[in-house]
Structure 1
Amino acid sequence: MYRVLIVDDEPMILKGLTVFLRQSGVDIASIRPASNGEEALAAITEELPDFVFTDIRMPVMDGLALCARIAEMNAPIQTVVISGYGDFTYAQTCISYGVKEYLLKPISKRDLQDTLRKLVQRAESAKSASSYLSMAKVDEWMQEMEQAVYYLNQERAEELLQIWEHEMASYHLLDAQRIEMLEEFHALLAKKLKARDVNIMLQPLQMERGMPFPAAYRQFADGIRQTLHYLQKRRKGKLKDPIEEVKKYIEHNLGSEISLEEAAELLGLHPNYFSVMFKQMTGETFVQYRTKRRMEHAKRMLGEERYRITDISYAVGYADHSNFTKTFKKYEGISPSEYRQKLGI
């Protein structure tokens, strides 16, 4: 299915082209309008179109300037210029910007259908060639990277990271599309490594909106390097069990408001990575485990008459006594004072 962007400052032209396109018989996913070049660029940033139909004369940013900007993107967008001016100079300029077709107003339904047929043929040819090559290369790269990580071949892993960065940069895509591909590769590689060893986990990606591809790729590569480092230390017996270390830290700091981020920083791990690992190894979230240990400690203190309930509340990290009572009742089914009564205190 194809995505189409129509750029024209005349509402009747936008409406007419939309109707023609809907009736063309081509499998169209979406048709979006824009009244000038600036609006069109914003729309392209949100979602990359397959075909752009643009007028020449428009306010704010005209069609030629838009074609120039699209050409700079080096993205797989086929542009069709529609104009009421049969000036050969326009056609020459359009060709220099990689414009595929040039149509004169008024546009007939037949002319539009002929143009669409050419656009679709080009798109299908490019799609079949690129998808075949990319899938073959992805599969080969994945297999090699999985082997390099599992067998701690750091030199080969670095080579593969360089190879794939250059490969992805060569695709005629926007950064947002490259990052989307990168996220898919990350998920696939993580799945392959986990099948080898359940304890091998890649650091989760934290992709932000508008992030440039080089920054995203550095994060992807650093995650793989971190996994290699973790495996190397673990296999040489130099790595302390991170979960046990955190459990000890929680036990010694029950009166403090320890956050997941603080615990992750203690181990030098990304918070998301640590959170997933903690849940996988304990069956509980970090907060659930911390609360459970606090309540267990509170029960021990409640068994000794010398402690006031308010003091116990502070001792297990609750400055708000009512919050402590509420949490204890949720955990134990009765309030702290009722718990003491059951103990005969």
Structure 2
Amino acid sequence: MYRILIVDDEPMIRKGLQKLVEQSELPIESLRTAENGAAALQRIQEERPDFLFTDIRMPKMDGLELCRQVAELDADIQIVVVSGYNDFEYAQKCLSYGVKEYLLKPVNIKGFQSILEKLVRHKSKVSSETFVAVTKLEQWANRMEQAVWMLQETELDRLLGEIRHELSDYKLKLNRVCDVLEEIHTLLQHRLNIRDIYLLQGELALASAASEEMAWEQFASAVRRRLEELKAKRKGRVKDPVEESKQYIEQHLAEEVSLEEVAEHIGLNPSYFSQLFKQSTQETFVQYRTRRRMEKAKKLLEQPQWRITDISGEVGYADHPHFTKTFKKYAGCLPSEYRQQMGIRS
């Protein structure tokens, strides 16, 4: 399965190249487009493509600068320059940035198909040059499973460091490192699932990792979460930890409750709880707490007997101006204005 990114400031050219890719019958995982080099770099940060097709002359960031930055970011991305005849000499400058091929506009089906075949052959050759044996991946997953199952946090951290050191000897490209880490994580999850462990998180996707350091951080964090989940399960927790935390927040909206305090109340590591909460609610702890405070404030503002200064304290704001500022940011108006909209005099 291949990931392809097409970059051109002309919509018709982008659509035409998209159609040629779709007609190629190449197994496509994702096919995305960008209107200039700056937008393309953002797309690449979100998900690294295998093949990049780019025009030369574009606003904001031209193709030459895009090729230069992509070469620094990930030399394993195969680049094809697609441009007009008049830009040929200019396009040749891209060769120093690892450009594989040059396509002349207008692009025909036969020429495009030939280029795609070359890219696929090259990628297959590169992929076969360096690989980590499946037996080695299984060995790492087995040892990791044992450390997680026995709740051996120190051993797990030591093992993660050892695997990283061993894997560095293979001198793999970033995309291959991500593939290996995703495979280890899948093997680990499979082994834990056999033991009837309910896991809160599914597959690990590292395509958006901009560096090897980031990929390792995401991988290590995911593995440590497996241990934290198992630890919580063995404490006999029957309530959903996120729902339990929401109840606790609701009961203490008038207080300055911290993430650490809530994590301790439900018996989870603060770092793990923070990740779990964000994963479940799509909000950070602070964002959720602020939203619930503002929703309660609106309900109280709708009751004439409550003074606005008292309401700020009731929802956890000792500093009244801070409450007013936060409410306006959330509701789009001041508390007094909100009351007026309700037909209530402050």
Amino acid at match of 2:138: D
Matched to 1:59, the amino acid is P
Does structure 1 residue 142 correspond to structure 2 residue 180?
no
- The reply to whether residue 216 of structure 1 matches residue 218 of structure 2 is yes
Q: Is the CA contact (8 Å cut-off) linking 1:80 and 1:103 kept in structure 2?
A: yes
User: Cα RMSD (Å) of the superposition?
Assistant: 4.9
Contact preservation (8 Å) 1:7, 1:54: yes
Q: After the TM superposition, which residues 33-44 of structure 1 pair with which residues of structure 2 at under 5 Å, given as runs? A: 33-44=33-44
SS in 2 for 1:133: coil
Q: Give per-residue Cα distances to partners, 1:144-180, cap 9 Å, x unaligned.
A: 33345567888864553123334379543369x93x8
Task: Tell me how far 1:79 sits from its aligned partner.
Answer: 0.8
Q: How far is the alpha carbon of 1:184 from its aligned partner?
A: 6.2
- Which string of whole-angstrom CA distances, capped at 9 and with x for unpartnered residues, describes residues 21-52 of structure 1? 33334344544332211121222233332211
Cα distance in 2 between the residues matched to 1:133 and 1:221: 20
Query: Paired residue for 1:66?
Result: 66
CA distance in 2, matches of 1:146, 1:105: 54
Match of 1:297 in 2: none
Inter-CA distance 165–80: structure 2 relative to 1 (3 Å threshold):
same
Structure-2 residue corresponding to 1:112: 112
Equivalent pair of 1:5/1:51 in contact (CA under 8 Å): yes
- Tell me which moved more, 74-83 or 21-30: 21-30
Q: What amino acid does structure 2 have at the position aligned with 1:143?
A: N
Q: Computing the radius of gyration over CA atoms, which structure comes out larger, 1 or 2?
A: 1
Q: CA deviation at 1:104?
A: 2.5
> Does 151-160 or 62-71 show the bigger shift?
151-160
Q: Conserved in 2, the CA contact under 8 Å of 1:73 and 1:174?
A: no
Instruction: Return the alpha-carbon distance in structure 2 between the equivalents of residues 143 and 87 of structure 1.
Output: 55
1:78 Cα deviation after fit: 1.2
Aligned partner of residue 95 in structure 1, secondary structure: helix
Instruction: Output the TM-score relative to the length of structure 2.
Output: 0.54
- Report the 3-state secondary structure (helix = DSSP H, G, I; strand = E; otherwise coil) of the residue aligned with 2:107: coil
Match of 1:8 in 2: 8
Letter of the 1:10 partner, please give it: E
Q: Secondary structure at the match of 1:269?
A: coil
Residues 73 and 151 of structure 1: is their aligned pair in 2 closer, same or farther, counting only changes over 3 Å? same
Distance 1:227 1:119, change over 3 A: same
Contact 2:151 2:227 in 1 (8 A): no
Give the whole-Å Cα distance in 2 for the aligned partners of 1:192 and 1:109.
47
Q: Look up the match of 1:303.
A: none
**SS in structure 2 of the partner of residue 145 of structure 1:** helix
Q: Which residue of 2 aligns with 1:270?
A: 269
Alignment correspondent of 2:174: 173
In structure 2, the partner of 1:83 is 83
Q: Could you tell me how far apart the structure 1 residues matched to 2:151 and 2:19 are? A: 59
Q: Is the 8 A contact 1:161 1:221 kept in 2?
A: no
Alpha carbons of structure 1 residues 160 and 35: separation in structure 2 relative to 1, 3 Å: same
Could you tell me how far 1:109 is from its partner in structure 2?
Answer: 2.7
Cα pair 2:8 2:35 within 8 Å, conserved: yes
d(CA) in 1 for partners of 2:271, 2:199: 10
Number of residue-to-residue matches in the alignment? 252
AA paired with 1:172?
Answer: K
Distance (Å, rounded) in 1 between the aligned partners of 2:223 and 2:267: 17
In 1, Cα distance between the equivalents of 2:226 and 2:8?
A: 47
C-alpha distance 88-78 of structure 1, shift in aligned 2 (>3 A):
same
Using structure 1 for the length normalisation, give the TM-score.
0.54
Q: Report the Cα offset of residue 116 of structure 1.
A: 1.1
Q: Please say if residues 86 and 104 of structure 1, whose CA atoms lie closer than 8 Å, have aligned partners that are also in contact.
A: no
Are 2:184 and 1:189 equivalent residues in the alignment? Answer: no
Contact 2:209/2:215 (CA < 8 Å) preserved in 1?
no
- Residue in structure 2 matched with residue 233 of structure 1 by the alignment: none
| Closer, same or farther: CA 157–203 of 1 in aligned 2, 3 Å | farther
- Alpha carbons of 1:136 and 1:64: their partners in 2 closer, same or farther (altered >3 Å)? farther
Shift of 1:214: 4.8
- Shift of residue 119, structure 1, vs aligned partner: 0.8
The answer for unaligned runs of 5 or more in structure 1 is 231-240, 275-345
Question: Is the 1:56–1:83 Cα contact (8 Å) retained in structure 2?
Answer: yes
- Counterparts of 1:216-295 in structure 2 under 5 Å? 216-220=218-222, 222=224, 242-243=235-236, 257=251, 264-266=263-265, 269-270=268-269
State percent identity of aligned pairs: 44
| Matched residue SS, 1:161 | helix
Q: Is the 8 A contact 1:55 1:82 kept in 2?
A: yes
Report how far residue 115 of structure 1 moved: 0.9
Query: Could you say which residue in structure 2 is the equivalent of 1:50?
Result: 50
